[in-house]
Structure 1
Amino acid sequence: MTPSAVRPIRHLRWWIIAMVMVGTAVNYLARSALGSAAPTLTKELDMSTQAYSYVVAAFQLAYTIVQPLAGWILDVLGAKVGLFVFAIGWSLANMAHALATGWPSLAVYRGLLGVFEGAVIPAGMKAVSDWFPDKERSVATGWFNIGTAIGSMIAPPLVVWCILVGSWRLAFIVTGAVGLVWAALWLAFYRRPQEHSRISPEELAYIEAGQAPDAAPAEGPRRPSWITIARTRNFWAIALPRFLADPAWQTFNFWIPLYLVTVRGMDLKQIAAFAWLPFLAADLGSIFGGYLSPALMRFGGVSLLTARKLTILTGSVLMIGPACIAFAPNAYWAIALFCVGGFAHQILSGALITLSADVFPKHQVATATGMAGTAAWTGGLLFSLLVGALATTIGYNPLFVCLAIFDLIGAALVFSLLRKPALA
């Protein structure tokens, strides 16, 4: 069917990114279900804090290892088929959590979830690189990246409701089933712009005219190379700061409920009422960060990459907020500082993720994003193990200070390493 055979949808690219955002939210709903169920799980399965950190690490280890492969598969198969397969996998793996009888079996199912969930961010960036001109990429990334926070925000009230009306096992079945529904919708409706029957000729021309030559559609298939990407300076300008930044986001996802219960004395209903607020703030940070780069370019007269650098620096400075949680007089002030952290992290994270589409050609975007994701999740994995080992001895507060220091170092690395790429 040719594009002229059906009525075009106005601004179709924004509908596409909305679909990516929903998929990202579904993905993060699945992974965040564990953190929300943790206070109940640790009691019913007789899990120590150390054992819980092993379960978290199983997901992080699998997710870390699989991301370059997931990105490569997406670059070869395309976002449509590739993400559909991964979404089916993560949904079934999440539902399998309901079969756990102790922390070892829970860790196995958690590891399977990590294997399949590693595709969502590379797929999102591949869709952005296909569907958006350069000047709109950070905005598009900001909007789809709010899905990470929406999923994490929905998880506490939904999981607690499932526990109260049924059990923690029901929570994993429900959150997994949502993913199966989204996967079917993705397969039915997603296409590349050149293949989509509902895109107008004007929008297609606008997208292609706004993309730099090294991001133009390839003449025939080109296979991405991990080695070629790893040899570039710009890859490390993205990967090292992501290694330093991701411990904050994974700490917020996996440890906030336990921190609020064990340190701040909250109960399960209070967790459901308040633990989602940092992720609402993170949504706002994603949107703000997405618009900050083009605003800096328009009103500050800076280049695209300089705008990205300044956005990352802004988020890094704001991360000083959660570093001050030790001074919070009560749980509500602590949550407020977590909100500052969620807002700050998503500002810098969105800019870092968008850089893959800024400095790599289309046929390498998902692979480069996946490789940088491996660096990010390596940092998160190591830090989660550190939290599990030290939280009961030195407390959480010094660990929160480390998160701010990491991000400031990461911003310095972006400024020193990132360079404008040569045209392909």
Structure 2
Amino acid sequence: MKDVTSSLNVPLVKKAAPAVSRLRWGIIFILLIAAVINYLDRANLSIANTTIAREFGFSQTEMGLLLSAFLWPYALANLPAGWLVDRFGPKKMFSWGVGLWSTFTVMAGFVNGYSMFYTLRVLLGISESPFFTSGIKITHRWFSDKERALPTSIINTGSQIANAVAPPILTVLLLTLGWRGMFIAIGLAGIPLLLVWLKFYRNPSEREEQSIHANAQRVQPSVVEANGNNRASWAALFKHKTTWFMVIGNFSIMFTIWVYLTWLPGYLEKSLGFSLKQTGWLAAIPFFAGILGVLCGGSISDRLIRRGVNTITARKVPIVVGAAMAACFVAPVPFVHSTALSIGLLSVGYFFSQLPQGVIWTLASDIAPKEQVASMGAIQNFGGFLGAACAPIVTGVILDATGQFTNVFFLGAGLLTLGALSYGLFVKKPIQVTMQK
């Protein structure tokens, strides 16, 4: 991949050596592939939703609970995962994560009942928790603040690529191998990725890091540099209202995103009357729009910074605008009777809901003290996946009670608006923490 800094007409950093430039973008490419595989492991249950429910006789509420079984432990495990990445480094934590999530996905292909299935989805959630926290730590080390949003967004694009290709690819695997064969095949895909990561990744040297960050705008003074080797208390981040509004904002945005991820195939089948084979292709359309949304969000944010906009404001613009516009396009869906228009609204709504995704992670690295970047990102992601965990359960309950998706879309639009307000009005400046002696 070409180093984006070489094409800019402004002095971002001292020119990195070609080998270093290739290395850091090579790392981003590996993380992009990892994100695709990571999300395929999450999405397989959504694609096999109706097939598994029929085989085991699960109700809509039971399927909602099973679809959320990954999300609750993932959300909770993000809290220690961020601290662990800060403590032991991204290479070690990412390696353990890939190995374990691949193993649990393969094992899910051999389940014979609800409790075993639920347990493996819980373990999958725990094992995937170090991935994005590792990614934010890596981009913080290898990229300056003026160029960090784009590589962070590229990593997050992996999830959207997976969501776009998951419906057709996983549907083909489901129809040819059965749902058990689909789980096994996707789980095994993580093994070569792990081997490449172990051989390829390293942290930047001190000299490389100084070169990368030489001309970066400091968002805040480094409290670590000012206080020697002291470390801030992890719990101290929760004493700041900024942290809580980032948690609330991400909760609200991620709720609607995970309604898409867990129930879109079911919506297309039940409400619009498509077959399983047709659903596999139609469900991909909004997610292709999501790929563009993530990349646009990161590009807009970096461009605003290069034009002199305050760093925090530049991160907030795509977050707030994206969430607010997504609400505007999601709310009308229940009143539309044209299939083409429904898919169009869902696609544009998902585009805007993804505009904040890479920037939300980058905002965490700009808000937090240098030594707590992964911890802050993990705390924010914890809030997001609490919302994600609620989404399939609440949707299942609403469907059992009403038989339609109308109230699901209304709730999603309301929460997207809350997310825009939380980031827009209450996240204003970097966090300064008190150091422990």
2:133 maps to 122
In the alignment of these two chains, the number of paired residues is 413
Normalising by structure 1, what TM-score? 0.91
Q: Is the 8 A contact 1:246 1:376 kept in 2?
A: yes
2:124 maps to 113
1:292 maps to 300
Separation of aligned partners in 2, 1:379 and 1:422: 24
Match of residue 207, structure 1, among 208, 213, 220? 213
Identical-pair percentage: 29
Match of residue 73, structure 2, among 45, 62, 72? 62
Residues 311-390 of structure 1: pairs in structure 2 closer than 5 A? 311-319=318-326, 320-390=328-398
1:310 aligns with 2:298: no
Q: 1:202 to 1:221 in 2, by over 3 A?
A: closer
Residues 68-79 of structure 1: pairs in structure 2 closer than 5 A? 68-79=79-90
Deviation at 1:68, TM superposition (A): 0.7
1:251 maps to 259
Q: 1:216 to 1:18 in 2, by over 3 A?
A: farther
1:396 maps to 405
Q: Is the 8 A contact 1:236 1:417 kept in 2?
A: no
Q: Is the 8 A contact 2:320 2:356 kept in 1?
A: yes
1:267 maps to 275
Deviation at 1:7, TM superposition (A): 7.8
- Return the letter of the residue paired with 1:175: I
Structure 1: gaps spanning 5 or more residues: 1-5, 196-200
Q: Is the 8 A contact 1:75 1:224 kept in 2?
A: no
1:198 maps to none
Separation of aligned partners in 1, 2:392 and 2:418: 19
The alignment partner of 1:421 has SS state of coil
Separation of aligned partners in 2, 1:403 and 1:396: 11
The alignment partner of 2:378 has SS state of helix
Structure 2: gaps spanning 5 or more residues: 1-16
Separation of aligned partners in 1, 2:291 and 2:261: 14
Q: Is the 8 A contact 1:214 1:360 kept in 2?
A: no
Separation of aligned partners in 2, 1:183 and 1:221: 33
Separation of aligned partners in 2, 1:308 and 1:330: 36
1:405 aligns with 2:411: no
Q: Is the 8 A contact 1:45 1:102 kept in 2?
A: yes
Q: Is the 8 A contact 1:92 1:176 kept in 2?
A: yes
Separation of aligned partners in 1, 2:28 and 2:80: 23
151-160 or 324-333: bigger deviation: 324-333
The alignment partner of 1:47 has SS state of coil
Separation of aligned partners in 2, 1:164 and 1:32: 16
The alignment partner of 2:112 has SS state of coil
Deviation at 1:221, TM superposition (A): 6.8
The alignment partner of 1:134 has SS state of coil
Normalising by structure 2, what TM-score? 0.88
Deviation at 1:380, TM superposition (A): 2.0
What are the superposed Cα offsets for residues 198-247 of structure 1, whole Å, 9 maximum, x if unpaired?
xxx77861334426264699698765633111112331232110111111
Separation of aligned partners in 2, 1:37 and 1:138: 34
- Return the letter of the residue paired with 2:40: L
1:3 maps to none
The alignment partner of 1:166 has SS state of helix
Separation of aligned partners in 2, 1:246 and 1:381: 9
Match of residue 185, structure 2, among 174, 189, 201? 174
Match of residue 27, structure 1, among 38, 58, 63? 38
Separation of aligned partners in 1, 2:364 and 2:422: 16
246-255 or 346-355: bigger deviation: 346-355
The alignment partner of 2:148 has SS state of helix
Match of residue 99, structure 2, among 88, 113, 118? 88
Separation of aligned partners in 2, 1:10 and 1:377: 33
Separation of aligned partners in 2, 1:127 and 1:183: 17
Match of residue 425, structure 2, among 408, 416, 419? 416
Deviation at 1:106, TM superposition (A): 1.4
Q: 1:76 to 1:211 in 2, by over 3 A?
A: farther
